[in-house]
Amino acid sequence: MPCLTAGMLRAIFLLLACQLAGEAIHRLTGLALPGSVIGMVLLVGWLALVPLERPGLVAVAGWLTAHLAVMFVPAAVGLIDEGAALSAYGIGLVAATIVSTVLTLVVTALVFRWALARFVTEDSA
């Protein structure tokens, strides 16, 4: 594990502060957006105003991404406790996951093709 520097600690605090602020805004206002999405918008706004935060944030985000699998362990353990629900609804959950994934891929491909046709001209290619 890399040695935590002051810049990395500041970046971790920034991530947590934006997450907390987003959750607070969500709960106080009742917006239809999840608090994590609001926090991400706050983070993007902060980075637009204070670009000096980026190097520390890049280091922390790189470390978190490298260890992302560890963050899924609690969810996997939680699934083990839901054996009865999985046996009752497992086929439906798998079917819904497959259908929504395929639908997302198809819509993404169609939007990408539309954007290419709309915004990329022969001169820019």
Q: What is the pLDDT of residue 35?
A: 92
Burial class (CB in 10 A: 0-12, 13-18, 19+), 11: buried
Alpha carbon 113 to its chain centroid, in Å, reads 24
Helix, strand, coil percentages, rounded to 5, for the chain:
85, 0, 15
Q: What is the pLDDT of residue 68?
A: 81
Per-residue pLDDT 10s for the chain (125 aa) are: 456 677 788 888 999 999 999 999 999 999 888 999 999 999 999 988 987 878 888 888 888 888 888 877 777 777 778 888 888 998 998 999 999 999 999 999 999 999 998 888 766 65
Asked if 47 contacts 23 with a C-beta cutoff of 8 angstroms, the reply is: no
